Amino acid sequence: MTKTEPEAPESTRVFDELLAEVTTSAGTFGHREHVHLTWLAVHRVGMPAAIALISDGIQRTARYAGAPQKYHVTVSRAWVELIAHHTTAHGQPDFAAFTERHPALLDKRLLTRFYRSATLAGTQARTSWVEPDLAPFPWTAPNQQRPQERKTTRFTSGPRQEPNARGEL
């Protein structure tokens, strides 16, 4: 009787597919590739599921690399929420257009606009979700919806729509 490997859970398969897509074109895996991976995940599964997909995948990758301490709950979720907010508010058909429209997302220090460095360095933020303590995220302004409350944007070949003053298309 031959033993077979158990089939990977769907989320593992999806994460691995997205990671392969990003690393095949990049050759490295820096901050830009993390943003690209997250952008793809938001498009593929929507924001709420992207939080789990990205978090689980990065945590699993860190463990595999022998560096489980590198995984950070707040940083991972905050990046997914920021990228999802910009993806759903100003949907771009490809990653290059997305980063051209939102270059601040390529600054790996962006979270310091929302969090004190001491907060992000703390154990609580590393092991559980912590809300921003310097400035609110963009969707917490009056009349803004959290990214998970928005529908996933699907792209068409029609004319591009610009958001109104409330960020709606």
For residue 90, the model assigns a pLDDT of 72
More confident residue, 127 or 28: 127
Report the length, in residues, of the chain. 169
pTM: 0.76
In this structure, the number of other CB atoms found within 10 A of the CB of residue 87 comes to 23
Biggest alpha carbon distance in the chain? 65
For residue 42, the model assigns a pLDDT of 95
CB 50 within 8 A of CB 15: no
The dihedral formed by the CA atoms of 48, 36, 32 and 83, expressed in degrees to the nearest 10: -40
pLDDT above 60 for 142: no
User: For 40-63, how does the pLDDT look when each residue is reduced to its tens digit (9 = 90+)?
Assistant: 999 999 999 999 999 999 999 899
pLDDT above 50 for 35: yes
166: DSSP letter: T
What average pLDDT does the segment 10-28 reach?
A: 85
The upper half-sphere exposure of residue 123, i.e. CA atoms within 13 Å in the direction of its Cβ, equals: 0
